[in-house]
């Protein structure tokens, strides 16, 4: 279930980022957070993981 929720959140963040929103999110797992932020940035959106 955790991976499904991650995919749904990533899709929403990517869509909003593509629409011009700046994406900021936090998490406990730094490596996964940075990996996700890179995926979002690769779409051209501004993204920050804290």
pLDDT digits (tens, 9 = 90+) for 8-48: 677 778 888 878 888 888 889 999 899 989 988 988 889 99
Looking up tokens 């501004």, which residue turns up? Answer: 46
- Torsion 43-7-17-33 (CA) sign: negative
- Domain range summary for the chain, segments of one domain joined by +: 2-49
49 vs 4: which has the higher pLDDT = 49
Q: Is the pTM of this model over 0.85?
A: no
User: Quick check: 50 pLDDT over 90?
Assistant: yes
């Amino acid at each position: 279930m955790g991976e499904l929720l991650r995919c749904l959140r990533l899709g929403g963040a990517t869509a909003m980022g593509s629409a011009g929103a700046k994406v900021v999110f936090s998490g406990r797992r730094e490596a996964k957070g940075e990996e996700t932020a890179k995926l979002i940035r690769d779409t051209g959106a501004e993204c920050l993981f804290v």
